[in-house]
Structure formats: structure tokens, C-alpha cells
Amino acid sequence: MSATDTSPQSHTTPEPERSPLSSPPPNAPRPRTLARLATGSALVASAVGVVLTLLGRYFIPSVIITTPAEQFGDQFTSLIPLPLFEALLSTFDGNAKHIYVAGVIIVEALLTAAFGVAYIAARQVIRLRIMGASANVQSATSSPSPLNRFLYAQFGRLAPGYFEAIFIVLLLWLLSAGVVSPLIGGGFFGVNLLGGSGLVFLAELAPNGIFALLFIRLFRSTLASFALTETEATEAEEAPATAHEQQAQANEAADQPDQADQPPLWPRVRRPVRGAPMANAAAQAEGVFSRRALVRQGILAAVILGGGALIWEALSNGLGAALGIGGSVRPPLAIGGAPTRIVPPPKPVYGPWTNVPGQTPEVTTPQNFYYVSKNLVSDPSINGATWQLTIDGLVEHPYTLSYHQLQALPAINQYHTLECISNVVGGNLMSNGAFTGVSLADALNKAGIKQGASEVVFYGADGYSDRLHLSQALDPNSLIAYLLDGAPLPTAHGFPARLLIPGLYGMKNGKWLTRLQVISGDYQGYWEQRGWTPEAHVKMTSRIDTPHDGDFLMARSTYIAGVAYSGAAGIARVDVTLDGGRSWTPTTLRRPLGALTWVLWEYRWTPASGTYVIGVRAIDLNGNVQTPVEAPTLPDGASGYDAITVTVR
């Protein structure tokens, strides 16, 4: 410029460049605003984390890491009041466990989502304070300290970085293991839970890691949708919109007139609106992300959670269990004056046998063998090559058995019927199998039982334990079984080894055995601690398998058939009533496969037209008559007569 140039010059001091540690914009989003924006992301992310973990437990059975739902849900059962426990069983029968598991999973997902929302709100509070403190330090010093630079680097951005997933996983673990676990009796950091504190930490890695990464991704997308990046929004505020930009904004608004009324399932990504202040961006977030959008995202989370749980349940237990298909209510019988015992006891009469359609097979296949487990999600997957059974306690010579050594012992083949203590009258939680195993008495006697011993405590790989009276353990028919139907026990039925104890419900026939401990005292097992009987003697039961309740029959010759079972007491006779309990008629029995199995029965019937209430009762080899008094499954097994109503045309 020449010396004679007198054109006006701007000699104002240039505006200092914005420092990376400057104070936050005055209209930065409030923590409450961000928490609201994070809610949908948290719900969807937590649902996906829970579902993927459940499906992973099914498709990768070799992984024995349990899920948080298993760890805490299993422990929480001990806190359920006994009257409530009984009410749930009476109301929902076999579906009670499914409902409980679903409730635990939903609570887990909601709590995880709530933590994510709280994390975002707390993060914004901390972030604003850090930025304010950094600005104050900068105004008093020529350069910020390394600590302030580090803090700003971590929390300076509005959107959380993916590295923060590590913080989220660790914080969730601290809350669940350090706070929730002690409150429900699991001990500090889960020391009293299955596998201890180490397994609790590993159990939470997968679901919490999936949640953290997906939550950050979805939340960052939500922030970008509303231009809630303070640097960009502030720059947009300082620069006025050009005519071209104003026209583009007007065209966009004209193309989407109903956007406020019809919020998308997930917000669309938008750039900052030039000339719009930061307050407008936050207001846009508050307005567009309406309650309707939040409801839609909540529904999406529910669909993911419910659909995933339904798929997992169908894969694990079959579609009928997943849909909660249950039985009908039994019709009443006139049972006044029923005898309690017949003297002398009747002699069994095994007559000609007809294979009746719909009758229960005498031997249950492994695929159809009834299955009940305390484990909420999946059972232990054990490597037979490394498995060992320890026999110790009050014995002279403690020792261990490998799977190979167990199979090398003298084998015993035995038909044995098992029934769950949760089996309702007429229920199907009862099966008969062909087992192979070794004498439990021989295994214990080999160790040399010391004088004063009174009980044997068995332990399973899933943390289950219970006790047997020494006399029960030494029963000649008590087995350590390792084969079912000539093949290794399926995982669901106790591989590598389980117990078979005559005359006791399934809770005393432990699966996934790892230890047999001989003791002197009164040990309380897993279910006894939760209010169930310590004895678990099988109650005599009988069941009608065909016809079914509510069936319509033709007035011609047909059969009524079913099974009866009385533990080690055997079955001498089975009677049916066709008139609601006023009269009883003996049925034909099929000779049982062994002394510890159920007995099949059938009755040939040629009915006339009408409606019939059919009932069944059994008498054991000692003359004891099945009790007609109805009792729930809790605490010592159900009782009463099975009955159906049929119509003949």
C-alpha cells in the first residue's frame, strides 16, 4: 500500500482464537436434556446386550460363564417369601420359572438402561465444571496445566468417546458386585455367588461391553441428529446464514411439514443450522425428540428383548414352553369316605395288554425325558476328560474318580423313574429311563466311612448341593449313573454323572456331580434353604394320559390309560371312577420293568352318550391308598386325584 493511500483501515485488535480449554458456550445442553436424549439409546442397547448374551449361552455351550441374570436371579430366589413362592407355583405351575426369569431379565435391562442415562447426565455435569475450571485457570496463567489438558481431552467433547465403554463396564461391575450383591446376600463383589467374584466379573463383561459400545454409538447418532456439538453449533451461531442456506432450510421445512407430529424411530442426522443459537439446538432436541419418539424406541427395545427371550426359550425348551402352554383345571371328585389303606394289601394282577394310542411310552427317550433345573439360563458344560468326582469328609481314605475310572467300575443297569417335587397332580414332570451306573454304597465304602457319620452331602458343578441320610446313600439301589439309554448322560440330565436315589424326588438325585462329602450333622441343601422339605419322599401319584380333559368321544369301545408311581413302594392296583368318585373299578396293569419304576395301566370302556367325570387313584404294594387330599407342590410335593371331563356322543 502506498504512503498516499488514505482509505480507511481496520486497526481493531483481532479476536483471540478460541482456546481448546475455553469455558463452555453459555447455552450448552443441560444434563436433563442429554439424559432425555439418551433414554431411547440406553433402552435399545441394554435390550440388545441382554438378548445377545442369552443367545450366546445357547449357541456357545462350551462357555460356562454365567450371565448376570443367572448370578443375581439365582441368589434372589432365597429372598422370595415362602407364601409368595407357593402362590407363584400354584398360579403358574411349570411356567413360574419362565415368568421369574423373564422378570429378572427385564429388571436387568431396565437397570442397565437407567445407569446409561445417569452416566450421560453425570458426565455432562462433570464436563461443564471441568471446562469452567479450565477457563478460570487459563485466565490466571499463561498456559493450562497438564491435568486440565488431560481432563478436557477426556470429557471436553459433548459426545462420549468409544474409550468410555471401559468406564461404563467397570462402573456397572462396581455397582452390581459392590452394591447389589451384598444387598441380596451374594457377598461383597459376589464372593458368595457361584464361581466367586472372578466369575461375577467375567459374567458381566459380555452384556455390559455390548451395551456400552452400542449405547455410545446410538447416543452419538442422536446428538448428531440435533447438531448438539457445541463447537459447531457455536460457530454456526456466530455466522449468519446465507441466502442460499436460508432457501435450502425453507425448502427442507416445506418438504417435511409433519415432522414434529411424526418423529422417526431414530432421529435423522442433521448438520448445525447456520445462524441458529445453541439454545435453539437444545430446544430442537427437546421438541423433536418427543415422548412419542421415546415410546417408539422403548417399544423397539421391548420387541428386541421379548423376541430374543422367546427365541432363546424356544431353542432351549421348545415352542410350547416358550408360549407358556399349560394344562386345564381338574374337575372335582366326590372323595368322601375314601380308604387310607387296604388290608390285606392287594396282589398285583397283570392282564393282557393293548397298546393304546396316546398312552405314555414305558421307557422315556433321552430327548423326551423331563427336565427341570435351578439354573436360570443354562447348565454347566463339563469336559469329561478333565472331570473328577471327589469323595471325602468323614472317611478314612479320601479319593477322586475320573470319568474313565468311574466307567471301569462294575456296572449296574437299572430302570428308574424320576419325578420332580414341583410336579403337579396329573403333571408331566416324571419320566422313566434305562440308566447305567455304579453302586453309590460301594463308592462310599471304598473310602472307609468313619464312625459318627450320618449324612452324605453331594455337590454339583452348578453350585447346587443337598444331603442324603447315610442309610439312603448306602441303599443297594442307589447309583452314580453315567449312561442314559446306553449313551452318556445328556448335559441337561447331569453329564458326566448324577445320582439316582430310590423313593426320593428329583431334588435329591443330584446332577453334574463333583463331590460327595460324608458328614455328621444336619446339612441344609439349596432348596431346603428356600423352604422346601429336607426329606423329599415321593408321594404316590397316578395320571390319566388318554383321553384328555374336554375330549369328545364316540359311543363305542375305547380305552382310558395312564401311569402310576409310588417310588420304591411299587404299585399293586390302579382304580378308575367314571361317575365322579362315587364308585371305583380296578384297571389292567402292565408288569413294570423294575421295582423303582412307574406302572402303566389301562381300562377298556364302552360308554353310552353323556358327560363323564373320570378320575384315577393308586394303591401301593403295602396296601396304602393314594390320598385324595389336595396339596400344592410346596413344600413337600403335590397330592390329590387326577380327573378329567369327557363328553360321549
Instruction: Give the torsion through C-alpha atoms of 504, 508, 513, 514, to 10 deg.
Output: -130
Task: Name the pTM for this structure.
Answer: 0.65
Question: Containing domain of residue 610, as a range?
Answer: 541-648
Residue 201 has pLDDT above 90, yes or no: no
Cα–Cα distance measured from residue 379 to residue 284, given in angstroms and rounded to the nearest whole number: 50
Cα–Cα distance measured from residue 543 to residue 549, given in angstroms and rounded to the nearest whole number: 12
Closest CA to 537 of 636, 415, 433: 636
Asked whether the bond before 547 is cis by omega within 30 degrees of 0, the reply is yes
Cα–Cα distance measured from residue 405 to residue 69, given in angstroms and rounded to the nearest whole number: 36
Claim to verify: residue 488 and residue 552 sit in the same structural domain: no
pLDDT value of position 577: 96
Cα–Cα distance measured from residue 583 to residue 310, given in angstroms and rounded to the nearest whole number: 46
Instruction: Decide the pairing of beta strands 388-393 and 513-519.
Output: parallel
Single out the residue in 486, 509, 530 at which a domain terminates.
530
| Residue 207 placed within a domain | yes
Residue 21 has pLDDT above 60, yes or no: no
Claim to verify: residue 68 and residue 110 sit in the same structural domain: yes
Phi-psi region of 358 (alpha: psi -120 to 50; beta: other; left: phi over 0): left
Claim to verify: residue 446 and residue 578 sit in the same structural domain: no
Claim to verify: residue 450 and residue 582 sit in the same structural domain: no
Angle, helix 31-59 to helix 196-225, in steps of 10 degrees: 130
Cα–Cα distance measured from residue 423 to residue 634, given in angstroms and rounded to the nearest whole number: 10
Single out the residue in 226, 244, 269 at which a domain terminates.
226
Please spell the DSSP secondary structure of 203-264, one letter per residue.
HHHHHHHHHHHHHHHHHHHHHHHTT--HHHHHHHHHSPPPHHHHHHHHHHHHH-TTTTTS--
Task: Look at the block and give the residue holding cell 466307567.
Answer: 407
Quick check: 306 and 298 in contact, CB under 8 A? no
Query: What letter would DSSP give residue 395?
Result: B
Predicted confidence band of residue 571 (pLDDT cuts 50, 70, 90) = very high
Claim to verify: residue 86 and residue 179 sit in the same structural domain: yes
pLDDT value of position 500: 98
Q: What is the pLDDT of residues 205-214, one digit of tens each?
A: 778 888 889 9
Predicted confidence band of residue 252 (pLDDT cuts 50, 70, 90) = very low
Claim to verify: residue 500 and residue 576 sit in the same structural domain: no
Cα–Cα distance measured from residue 5 to residue 65, given in angstroms and rounded to the nearest whole number: 82
pLDDT value of position 133: 56
Q: In what order do the strands lie in the sheet with 599-605?
A: 541-546, 558-565, 599-605, 588-589
Closest CA to 461 of 419, 510, 420, 531: 510
Highest mean pLDDT (candidates 258-262, 337-341, 557-561) = 557-561
Predicted confidence band of residue 229 (pLDDT cuts 50, 70, 90) = very low
Claim to verify: residue 555 and residue 410 sit in the same structural domain: no
Single out the residue in 166, 197, 226 at which a domain terminates.
226
Lowest mean pLDDT among 67-81, 100-114, 543-557: 67-81
| Residue 481 placed within a domain | yes
Quick check: 544 and 616 in contact, CB under 8 A? yes
Claim to verify: residue 548 and residue 523 sit in the same structural domain: no
Can you read off the three cell numbers belonging to residue 138? 487459563
Claim to verify: residue 124 and residue 199 sit in the same structural domain: yes
Claim to verify: residue 195 and residue 149 sit in the same structural domain: yes
What is the average per-residue pLDDT within 489-511?
Answer: 97
What is the total count of domains within the chain? 3
Cα–Cα distance measured from residue 140 to residue 311, given in angstroms and rounded to the nearest whole number: 61
Cα–Cα distance measured from residue 537 to residue 501, given in angstroms and rounded to the nearest whole number: 10
Quick check: 85 and 314 in contact, CB under 8 A? no
Predicted confidence band of residue 374 (pLDDT cuts 50, 70, 90) = confident
Claim to verify: residue 584 and residue 473 sit in the same structural domain: no
What is the average per-residue pLDDT within 495-507?
Answer: 97
User: Over pLDDT 70: what percentage of the chain?
Assistant: 66
pLDDT value of position 543: 97
pLDDT value of position 294: 56
Q: For the chain, give the number of residues.
A: 649
| Residue 613 placed within a domain | yes
* 420 Cα distance to chain centroid: 19
Residue 73 has pLDDT above 50, yes or no: yes
Tell me which of 113 and 587 has the higher pLDDT.
587
CA distances from 148 to 139, 158, 416 (A): 13, 17, 72
Cα–Cα distance measured from residue 108 to residue 95, given in angstroms and rounded to the nearest whole number: 20
* 388 Cα distance to chain centroid: 28
Predicted confidence band of residue 587 (pLDDT cuts 50, 70, 90) = very high
| Residue 335 placed within a domain | no
pLDDT value of position 266: 45
3-state helix, strand, coil in the chain (%, to 5): 40, 20, 40
Tell me which of 177 and 315 has the higher pLDDT.
177
Claim to verify: residue 50 and residue 115 sit in the same structural domain: yes
Quick check: 519 and 457 in contact, CB under 8 A? yes
| Residue 437 placed within a domain | yes
| Residue 3 placed within a domain | no
pLDDT value of position 586: 97
pLDDT value of position 16: 45
CB atoms under 10 Å from CB of 238, counted, come to 11
CA distances from 31 to 38, 43, 120, 125, 159 (A): 10, 18, 7, 6, 12
| Residue 609 placed within a domain | yes
Q: Which residues contact 451 (CB under 8 A, 6 or more apart)?
A: none
The CATH number of residue 435's host domain is: 3.90.420.10
| Residue 363 placed within a domain | no
The CATH number of residue 617's host domain is: 2.60.40.650
